[in-house]
Amino acid sequence: MLEKSMRPGSEAKLAQLRQQYEQAKAQLLALGYLVVGTVQKRQYSCGKPTCRCMTEGVLHGPYYQWTRKLGGKTLNINLDEELAKMVREWIQNNRKLRKLCRRLEKTSLAVLKLSTKMRET
Give CA–CA dist 89/84, Å, rounded. Answer: 9
Contact 36, 70 (CB under 8 A): no
- 3-class secondary structure for 47-65? CCCCCHHHHCCCCEEEEEE
| CA dist., res. 55 & res. 65, Å (int) | 26
> Under 8 Å CB-to-CB from 17, ≥6 apart: which residues?
107, 110, 111, 114
pLDDT attached to residue 22: 95
Q: Of all residues in the chain, what percent carry a pLDDT higher than 90?
A: 79
Alpha helices in the chain (DSSP H): 11-30, 52-55, 81-115
Q: Where do the structural domains in the chain lie, given as residue ranges?
A: 2-115
pLDDT over 80 at 6, yes or no: no
pTM for this model (two decimals): 0.79
pLDDT of residue 4: 52
The tens digit of pLDDT for each residue in 76-119 reads 999 999 999 999 999 999 999 999 999 999 999 999 988 887 66
Residue 9: pLDDT band (50, 70, 90) is low
Predicted local distance difference test score (pLDDT) of residue 121 = 56
Over residues 32-42, the mean pLDDT reads 97
- Return the pLDDT at 117: 72
- Predicted local confidence at residue 75, as pLDDT: 97
